[in-house]
Amino acid sequence: MSSPMPTAGAKGQDAFTAAQAAQDASAKHATRSFKIWRGEAGKGDFVEYKQDVVEGMVVLDAVHEIAATQANDLAVRWNCKAGKCGSCSAEINGMPKLMCMTRLSDLDADKPVTIEPMRAFPHMRDLVTDVSWNFEVKKKIQKFTPRPPDAPDGTWRMQQTDVDRVQEFRKCIECFLCQDVCHVLRDHHKHEEFIGPRFLVYAAALEMHPLDTADRVPELRKEHGIGLCNITKCCTKVCPEHITITDNAIIPLKERVVDEFFDPIGKLVKIYSRRKKANG
Amino acid sequence: MSTPTEYKTVEHDVLVIGAGGAGLRAAIEAAAQGANVGLVCKSLLGKAHTVMAEGGMAAAMGNVDDRDNWRVHFADTLRGGQYLNNWRMAELHAKEAPERVKELEGWGALFDRTADGRILQRNFGGHRYPRLAHVGDRTGLELIRTLQDHGVHQGLDVHMEVTVLTLLKDGDRIAGALAYDRERGRFRVFKAKAVVMATGGIGRAYKITSNSWEYTGDGHALSYHAGAALQDMEFIQFHPTGMIWPPSVRGILVTEGVRGEGGVLKNRDGKRFMFDNIPDNYKAQTSDTPEEGWRYTQGDKDARRPPELLTRDHVARMIVNEVRGGRGSPHGGVFLDIAWIKEKLPNAEEHIKRKLPSMYHQFMQLAGIDITKEPMEIGPTTHYIMGGVRVDGDTQMSTVPGLFACGECAAGLHGANRLGGNSLSDLIVFGKRAGEHAAKFAKSNGTVSIDSAAVDAAARRALAPFDRAASAEGPYQVQEALQETMQDNVGIVRAQAEMDVALQALGSLKDRADKAGVKGNREYNPGWHTALDLDNLLTVSEAITRCAIERKESRGGHFREDYPDKDPAFATFNFVVAKGKDGSMELSREPIPPMPEHLAAVIEEMK
């Protein structure tokens, strides 16, 4: 026999359902009020719902309960409900957040919880926005271009310390909350001239990748509009993955742009050292 | 409202349904072969369930322990699957996984590193040597992002937030699919010479699951209704460690990596109960003392693995046993403790945060638990289905010409129980194979024609819930009842009487689904979507229940209280279901072909 035979439990109920049902009965309940933005293509208004909630619930749980019992057609985008896919981005009490990682107990219990769609993108329905612009922007960034493999078996050698920095950027779950909060996009609508913090992080991950050989600095300066970012760090504050977007990604990229295009002394040094090499 | 109006028709050589790891890898390969490829996904690109995979991908590269090679990986996979695996798939998987992982590095993936700069590999349940290439505990995100970013430069035509309603056929052969776009609710006809199904699993048929909303068995059900055979549907993996408290997070996955890094399971009395029962076929490889187990997790090559790293089916049942015996944790699970390693490591807190960052984050944010200081409470959660579309091991083609399947929705590689880490490697090995062979099939077979009557009928059926807008019941209530039925009656511990109840209940749930109504309009309407998912959930639930009833023994992920032992009579065939002429589900026993000598020799050697 390969496994223990679980001792007989309550019939008609899975062992865990049985053990946990008893616990569920002891969980604390409360009625909370939610103001959810309902409407289409930018037109709409808040609709208020009262909903019974249980301790430990996150905002997305409440939205699901409301959809299941009061508003079947409430449009909401979500996938994993575990903070890993970045689908359920919204503005909760005015703050850009993931609905699945925002606990109700962290929000003022005396006031209704307001839930709105992200405002930096075209509105579709209720809590859903059209984020397709982000996917188009990504295509415009030069792709990963590795150096030839280091070993005959086609593999590379990299030290952990050399990949740490890029691994931070690759934690990004593409929730686009940083794009939502960026005033260049949100208030000034410069979607044509500026790729936004998400894609500056993406470009930084490629530029600082130990194996990459492409040069994205000229395009960052021109087409991607890195100069438009004036380092207010709002993006860093809202990142659910705690990526230090401004300090670790954007500022180093800005420095590269400066080094390559705007540094007369650096240029002289380069010319001088080149001459020295040629002569020496 | 319920009259289909227009059909936008899109033509591709190869249509890939599903954009997780398997679908993306298939699409990349088909495009590399020169095919015009369409990639359809229910969500936005990069959001598929693959992002939730945590621990890593298994590939016998031998970077950490040079005793590892494909033969050990092959033997481990078959032992874990209790020898019901498609041995050809297990062989290809073990041989090709290293190449597929290295290829990802060339596409930009950044795995954690060994001291000499190679890809680091970690321990996982059922793998004899450290074998899982990983990035902290977010390996799935790295995989999907790498494939997504590589794929967008391959000229793939990506159809985001599009859901397939039915597969279309031209005679016996596959001809495409009818789908609808979520944003506008409009129908779209895809005409394709070959279709690759890569839709993932079925977790949403259960109440407690680690799976995202998309996991409604679409690929299983659509393929079945198109005439393809499904196999091994009774084998579902209940992952031993899901969150259990607070109630709203129940089921969310806690990676096996916690145990790989030295985490231990304890009951209410603080006892490491996993030492109580070690299956005979793993005795030789399992440590008898906590000390030896700890040394194993720290890379001591002479130590044997701790019993916490036995296969998932066994660990899950041991946990159930503790809870049923009244030795569980306060919220009906057991304790998973990684904080204890501070007795062994000076910088334990930092080490845990570095190795398991998302677990730290997840417990801190959702449960208010600091895993570097306190134990977690965990219990089993519906995680993975070993069963799926029956495919040819080499080409991944189903029993329907032109219809391919790969990843979780295909069957064969994992047999009765999947080893952790063998899923991500499955996606890339067989995703590539499916894409390659679908492109070849498209090239060597002529054009197809679309049966417009079939399209009309399917579209009318899809719109029917709107005609019942006044109906008393909505789709959510039916879905919930279905999830409870499966959880309570066809869950981790099964018995004849309960499964008979389930089968009957599924019949009446089908009636309820046929009567459920949907309010609102067609634009981005989750209620409508839920109504459309019900068909697929009901089909897979019936297949699971029927196969589970017939397998009168306990093996791998399938445990029968009324037949608690393994029975050699059930070791020689797979249960297969297919749609009969009268539309009812027909079950048959398909013998497992004898293993060729060179593979049998490997199994014998690794015993």
Instruction: Check which CATH number belongs to the domain holding A119 and give it.
Output: 3.10.20.30
Q: Is the distance from CB of B127 to CB of B76 less than 8 angstroms?
A: yes
Reduced 3-state DSSP string for chain A: CCCCCCCCCCCCCCHHHHHHHHHHHHCCEEEEEEEEEEEECCEEEEEEEEEEEECCCEHHHHHHHHHHHCCCCCCCCCCCCCCCCCCCEEEECCEEEEHHHCEHHHCCCCCCEEEECCCCCCEEECCEECCHHHHHHHHCCCCCCECCCCCCCCCCCCCHHHHHHHHHHCCCCCCCHHHHHCHHHHCCCCCCCCCHHHHHHHHHHHHCCCCECCCCHHHHHCCCCHHHCCCCCHHHHHCCCCCCHHHHHHHHHHHHHHHHHCCHHHHHHHHHHHHHHHHC
Q: Which of B259, B304, B351, B414 is catalytic?
A: B259
The CATH superfamily of B21-238+383-444 is FAD/NAD(P)-binding domain (3.50.50.60)
CA pair distance B576, A19, nearest whole angstrom: 34
Q: What pLDDT sits at residue A278? A: 52
Answer yes or no: is pLDDT of B61 > 80: yes
Strand, coil or helix: B419 = coil
**Tokens 């779209």, residue?**
B188
Q: What pLDDT sits at residue B1? A: 43
Residues A166 and A91 in one domain: no
* Residue A241 forms part of a structural domain: yes
B351 is catalytic: no
Q: Which two tokens stand for residue A218?
A: 């000229």
| Best of A78, A80, A179 to mutate (most B CBs within 10 Å, chain B) | A80
Cβ separation A158–B332 shorter than 8 A = no
Residues A116 and A166 in one domain: no
* Residue A272 forms part of a structural domain: no
Confidence of residue B385 (pLDDT cuts 50, 70, 90): very high
Residues A179 and A107 in one domain: no
* Residue A6 forms part of a structural domain: no
Q: What pLDDT sits at residue B246? A: 87
List of chain A residues whose C-beta atoms are within 8 Å of the C-beta of residue B64: none
Q: Which two tokens stand for residue B38?
A: 């369409």
Domain positions in chain B are: 21-238+383-444, 239-381, 460-568
Span B239-381 CATH architecture: Alpha-Beta Complex (3.90)
Q: Which two tokens stand for residue B281?
A: 């076929």
Nearest-neighbour CA in chain A from B57: distance (Å): 17
CB pairs under 8 A between A and B: 255
Answer yes or no: is pLDDT of B268 > 90: yes
Start-to-end CA span in chain B (Å): 64
CA pair distance B210, B238, nearest whole angstrom: 9
Residues A58 and A160 in one domain: no
List of chain B residues whose C-beta atoms are within 8 Å of the C-beta of residue A57: 246, 248
Q: What single letter denotes the amino acid at residue B182? A: R
Q: What single letter denotes the amino acid at residue B555? A: R
CA–CA distances in Å: residue B300 to residues B64, B115, B236: 11, 16, 33
Q: What pLDDT sits at residue B54? A: 87
Q: What pLDDT sits at residue A280? A: 42
Number of structural domains chain A divides into: 2
The CATH number corresponding to B460-568 among 1.20.58.100, 2.40.10.350, 2.70.98.10, 1.10.580.10 equals 1.20.58.100
Q: Which two tokens stand for residue B40?
A: 């359809």
Nearest-neighbour CA in chain B from A183: distance (Å): 24
* Helix extents (H) in B44-115: 70-80, 87-106
Q: Which of B150, B188, B239, B437 is catalytic?
A: B239
Q: Where is the domain boundary, A97, A129, A161?
A: A129
CA pair distance A91, A65, nearest whole angstrom: 19
Answer yes or no: is pLDDT of B29 > 60: yes
Residues A190 and A94 in one domain: no
pLDDT mean across residues, chain B: 95
Give chain A's residues under pLDDT 50.
1-3, 5-12, 280
List of chain A residues whose C-beta atoms are within 8 Å of the C-beta of residue B556: none
B259 is catalytic: yes
Q: Is the distance from CB of B222 to CB of B394 less than 8 angstroms?
A: no
List of chain A residues whose C-beta atoms are within 8 Å of the C-beta of residue B366: 56, 58, 101, 103
Q: What pLDDT sits at residue B121? A: 96
The average pLDDT across B480-489 equals 95
Residues A110 and A226 in one domain: no
Alpha-carbon A180 to chain mean position: 10
Express as a percent the part of chain B with pLDDT over 90.
93
Residues A140 and A35 in one domain: no
Query: For B393, how many CA atoms within 13 A lie in the half-sphere containing its CB?
Result: 16
Q: What pLDDT sits at residue B338? A: 97
Cβ separation A1–B564 shorter than 8 A = yes
What pairing do the DSSP bridges indicate for beta strands A43-54 and A29-40?
antiparallel
Cβ separation B331–A20 shorter than 8 A = yes
The average pLDDT across B78-91 equals 97
Q: What pLDDT sits at residue B147? A: 98
Residues A143 and A257 in one domain: yes
Answer yes or no: is pLDDT of B331 > 60: yes
b/e for A150-172, b at 16 or more Cβ within 10 A?
eeeeebbebeeebbebbbbbbbb
Burial classification of residue B272, based on how many CB atoms lie within 10 Å of its CB (0-12 exposed, 13-18 middle, 19 or more buried)? middle
Domain B239-381 and domain B460-568, same fold? Reply is no
The edge-to-edge listing of strands for the beta sheet with B57-58 is B57-58, B132-133, B121-122
Burial classification of residue B481, based on how many CB atoms lie within 10 Å of its CB (0-12 exposed, 13-18 middle, 19 or more buried)? middle
Burial classification of residue B80, based on how many CB atoms lie within 10 Å of its CB (0-12 exposed, 13-18 middle, 19 or more buried)? buried
Tell me whether A103 touches chain B (CB under 8 Å): yes
* Residue A192 forms part of a structural domain: yes
Domain carrying residue A211:
132-265
ipTM exceeding 0.90, yes/no: yes
